[in-house]
Each structure stands twice: as structure tokens, then as C-alpha cells.
Amino acid sequence: MKVGIIGATGYGGLELVRLLSSHPAVQEIQLFTSSEEGISFSAKYPHLTTLYDQPLEAITKEAIAQLDVVFLGTPSGISGQLIPEIYNEQTVFIDLSGDLRLKNIENYENWYGKKAAPQGLVNRSVYGLCGWNDAAIKEAQVIANPGCYPTATLLSILPLLQKGLVKHHNIIIDAKSGVSGSGNKPSQMTHFTETTEATTIYKINQHQHIPEIEQAIELFTGKVEPITFSTHLVPMIRGIITTSYLQVESGVTEEQLYRAYEDVYADDPFIRIVPSVQKLSTNQVRGTNYCDITINLDARTNRLTVVAVIDNLVKGAAGQAIQNMNKIMGYEEQAGLKQVPLFI
């Protein structure tokens, strides 16, 4: 299989290279750029010297047509305009940006502040939340890879919402991410002196993942209520932890709640349910495609605390993109994704 990566020099692209390098079915990886054609990939990332010394290539429709799968790790606002220019019926397109996630393109323009992709392309795309949309994913040619925050949030609360064990209204989600989630373009917010020894809340009630989470809840449960979703930047490189607070329906026990996860994720190799713990850390999933989930029911308030941890660059981006590729191409779901967590 021949695959291509557009936006290869970003952190998502770099992680795709790392993971695809160990994929048993990937014969060739082509790396594309819109601005650095001819520059060696290892010149951008010296740790890949002798491994990926190949020059970055220009993006052309002819080159893309020779590939089985193309991953787009571009900033939001680019892939939605680029895919129509390079589209062909034989290549699978997996977009890691937010351009194809929101079905309402006015919502996209309001929340992202960018020009939306053509409605036809958005309609054709399939939301690639693995484990929840698999039937559609397997038949898809265009995948809208979920965002990192939505992946952790949705995987951890959807089983409870779908089975009617918790209320849909008044859902509060507190989410924290490492700095790599902001990409590799320097900014004041990600400057060392701004991030080290500090935790920063940002985009209060304005984060673009809010409508994505609400849309997915409606898609998979048939119900939707506005959520409260807060995001924080913490002084670490990798990782996301989401803490969600939900009101449990009357009479529901913690045993029933855990059984819901077991029913939904019994055959999912990447979801690990961790029962009865007082500690859950991003370290335990670092560098992997795992999502670890635990819950705690407060008998005093009948309120449930749901905690999930993922690696934002793997399960939250490149890893789930490869998982989607495996489903579409008929490979083992774990192909290229069997890494042991880098705890330290």
C-alpha cells in the first residue's frame, strides 16, 4: 500500500510517519508540502536522519492519484479547499483537521472563522469516531477524523447517554491538553515562558469542539442539549484528560454504569476501562492509541464523575486516523498501533 501525508511537517504528520513506519501493509510513504518543496524531511526533523531523508514533494493531483490513502494534517481552513482540487475516486482521504466534521457549514464558519468546505464534500465525509461509526467508516472514501478533545469526551460519555443511564442536560466537561495540541507554529500562548509552571484556560465557551461534541451526541443517541465545555493548556507536551460531570438517572447503580462500558467496548482493543481507582494519568497512555476511562458515582449528590485520558497526537489524531484506514482497507484494527505506553 502506498500512502501520502499532506502537512507532513506538523506534529500530526510527524506522528503519522512514526506510526505508519511500523504498519505491516505500508510499502511507501510520500510526504507533501505546500511551501517547502525539495527540502529533506530529515533536515526538518534531524532525529529521522537516514530514516526519512527524502525530499518533501509538491501537492499535485497526479501524484495523489497514485496513492491508496492520503492523510491531511493541515491547519483548519486548508483541507476543505484542497481536497476538491486533488480528489479522485480511487484514493481514500482522511482529514485530521476540523474542516469536514461539522455538517452545518454555517456552524463551521461561525466557530472556526474560516471559509467552509463545499457542502457536497462535507455531506460525503464520514465522522470517523472508531467504535461508534464503524459501519459507515468501512464504506467511506472521505473521513473526518474527530478532534482530540471530542475523542476523549465522546468515548467516555456516549455509552452512558446511549443507554439512558444519565441525563442529557447540564453536562459539564473540564478538559486539559498538552501544548502539542496547539501545533508546531510558535505563538505567544505556546511560548515557553507562557506555558511552563502555568495552567491556562482558553476559548471560554467558544471552543470549536463544542459543536462537534454536541453534533456527535445527537448522531449517536438521537438527543442533544447544550454542553458546558472548558479547555485548559497544561505544561506538558502530550496528553489529554477530560473530566465530565453528569447527573445519574434515579436508581442507577455504579455496577450498571460499568456494565454499559463493558457492553459497548467488549471488543474494542483500544478502550481500557479502569474500575475503582482514585488516580488516572495521561502518562499511562502516552505514545499509544489507548483511551483509558474510569468513573466515580458520588452517592451524596447522585452526580457521576467520568474521567478519560488519551494521547492527543495518537488516539486524538494520527492513531485514530490509522485505525480508520485499517477499517476501510480491511486490515487488522491494531495494525501499526501496538505500541506499549511510554510511562516515563
Catalytic residues, by residue number, are 148
- How many whole angstroms separate alpha carbon 328 and alpha carbon 253? 38
- How many whole angstroms separate alpha carbon 95 and alpha carbon 74? 8
- How many whole angstroms separate alpha carbon 124 and alpha carbon 164? 30
What ranges in 126-208 are assigned the alpha helix state H? 134-138, 148-162, 192-195
What ranges in 179-282 are assigned the alpha helix state H? 192-195, 209-221, 254-265
- How many whole angstroms separate alpha carbon 6 and alpha carbon 208? 23
Q: Are 128 and 321 in contact (CB under 8 A)?
A: yes
Give 55's DSSP letter: B
Best CA proximity match to 327, nearest among 146, 137, 142 = 137
For the chain, how big is the Rg over CA atoms in Å?
Answer: 20
> CA 186, 199, 288 angle in degrees (round to 5)?
75
Q: Are 44 and 52 in contact (CB under 8 A)?
A: no
Residue 240: strand, helix, or coil: strand
**Residue where the block lists cell 507554529:** 185
